[in-house]
Amino acid sequence: MNNIKAILILGPTGSGKTPLGAICEKKGLWGANCFHFDFGVQLRCIAEMGENGNFFTDRETDFIKQTLETGALLENEKFYIAEKILFSFLINRQVTKKDLVILNGLPRHIDQAKEIDKTVNIIKVVQLECSPEVVVKRINMNSGGDRTDRTDDSLKKVENKLKIFILRTLPVVEHYKKIGVEKINVSVDTTAEKIYNLIEKKNSRISPGKELLP
């Protein structure tokens, strides 16, 4: 499936990845239809509502719940769970090579990135830049409108997520830089709508109805 193209949105918790992904899906990018894959939302749906029926075993569901509770990453031995979630998404949404997947929350460390590269072709990395102080403020204010009913927004959990992001997720940027993937840096001191407009202007090579260029 690695002929399916994707944009990876990277940023710490609370930086606005989900609102940005939602706008991309609603409006499309560079003439292509977009499908927003929000890994956190997928995990919470499986844990809270048991979606996907019998697609996951009870043990896998329990592990997902534990991952959400602790904020831990899926390491190599458990990454097959993430692959199952992504494959299910691509199939259920009927994503084709003419479409663009917006990856949000996956991959979160270099080993995950190397595995994801076998499934989708990441053509751009959008890095949302946000200081820890701004993260806490945005979460408390629910700036993106996507934090309602979240159970993982305590200060302790947010601080843990920020540490993991700096130590494990930021190196993913260098991974894609090494293989020639363009990075778009955006400060989050503006609205998701304006960030979307900035990204939309970054690529004029794609025309409506055409396949995305590598």
Q: How confident is residue 127, by pLDDT bands cut at 50, 70 and 90?
A: very high
Three-state SS for 5?
Answer: strand
Q: How far is CA 177 from CA 106, 120, 187, in A?
A: 17, 17, 19
Q: Is the pLDDT of residue 66 over 80?
A: yes
Check: CB of residue 146 under 8 Å from CB of residue 23. Answer: no
**What are the chain's domains?**
4-200 (3.40.50.300)
Strands (E) located in 83-135: 100-104, 120-129
Q: Is the pLDDT of residue 61 over 80?
A: yes
Distance, CA of 73 to CA of 18 (rounded, Å): 18
pLDDT digit string, tens, across residues 15-37: 899 999 999 999 999 999 999 99
pLDDT digit string, tens, across residues 151-170: 555 677 778 888 888 999 99
Average pLDDT, the chain: 84
Strands (E) located in the chain: 4-10, 34-38, 100-104, 120-129, 182-187
> Given this model, what pLDDT does residue 151 score?
55
